Amino acid sequence: MKTFAYFMSCINESMTKELDKALDQWEKDFDLKFIKLHDGTCCGGSNLDYVDPKEFLVINARNIALAEKENLDLVTSCNTCLLSLRRAKQELDSSEENKTFVNSILKKQNLEYTGKSEVKHLLWVLNEDLGLDAIKAKVKTPLKDYKIAPFYGCHILRPSSLMGKDDPSNPKSLDQLVDVLGAKTVDYKSNNECCGFHTLLVAEDASLNIAADALENAIETDADFIVTPCPLCHTVLDSYQQKALKKRNVKDSIPVLHLSQLVGLALGYTQKQLGINRHIVSLSK
């Protein structure tokens, strides 16, 4: 059994609980185990590192140290959490001064950051640690009736020097997963661009325009739905879809799934089991 520490992102603990519910359904099918770090705290959401860089390092060193205490790599299903955790790890691993500073605080909780645990995205675990062939062998209901628009989002791709898995101009990892699940992927302009989530509360019009670009591009391909590896992208593209498309006078709509739900569909789980029925835009098939 392959075992990982699982970072419970704020968004999955509150607004998008169905995404972790889907993961809970099928992890046993692949002989995977994700140990949820209930003591973890918010990663800072790609904002705290600018507001208080030292606090940013401490909280993310603590999150990684919780995984290190279990001798496990740390996995997240949120692109922004991935960026925050990997950025903190890079800064800590390249500076003994930073490492000494965070450990002077972590020792109060009997924790220590050493740098031995890797920080991974769920997509990378599926494609690399588990392997595409192993996934394909477990597919029970191939998604051959679907045309899918993969939407990567930006934080899993950029900066490429920190992520290092995909070419940010031409990413392939999510497309490869969709392929082994039996579906067809479509190419469209916005698949590797920002969803607009992080400006939603301070510049809603700008945010909705960004989301509308992605949604309209995907709709124009006649895709059955969008799949994304990020719950933040999922939230803005699903929950704010009607508002975004109204700005463009677009009457059509398109469902949005997280990759954990996509995998579950191919393994034979129902939409209800995967929480797809919770979405604003329903999946009709």
163 close to 88: Cβ distance less than 8 angstroms: no
Could you read off the pLDDT tens digit of each residue along the chain, which spans 285 residues?
999 999 999 999 988 999 999 999 999 999 999 999 999 999 998 788 889 999 999 999 999 999 999 999 999 999 999 999 999 999 999 999 999 999 999 999 999 999 999 999 999 999 999 999 999 999 999 999 999 999 999 999 999 999 999 999 999 999 999 999 999 999 999 999 999 999 998 999 999 999 999 999 999 999 999 999 999 999 999 999 999 999 999 999 999 999 999 999 999 999 999 999 999 999 975
Give the position of tokens 């879809």. Answer: 241
Round to whole Å and give the CA distance between 259 and 268.
Answer: 15
Give the per-residue pLDDT at 251: 93
* Tens-digit pLDDT profile for residues 120-166: 999 999 999 999 999 999 999 999 999 999 999 999 999 999 999 99
Burial of 201 (0-12, 13-18, 19+ CB in 10 A): exposed
User: In one letter, which amino acid is 172?
Assistant: K
- State how far the alpha carbon of 135 is from the alpha carbons of 125, 126, 138, 178, 180, in Å: 11, 8, 5, 11, 7
Round to whole Å and give the CA distance between 108 and 89.
Answer: 20
228 close to 260: Cβ distance less than 8 angstroms: no
Please list the residues that pair with 178 across neighbouring strands: none
User: How many Cβ atoms sit within 10 Å of the Cβ of residue 89?
Assistant: 22
Return the structure tokens found at 255.
């469902």
Q: Kindly list the strands in the beta sheet with 256-258, ordered across the sheet, starting from the edge strand earlier in the chain.
A: 184-185, 147-150, 225-228, 256-258
Dihedral in degrees, nearest 10, Cα atoms 65, 70, 75, 76: -60
Give the position of tokens 């890079």. Answer: 90
Rounded to 5°, the CA angle 193-42-155 comes to 15
pTM comes to 0.97
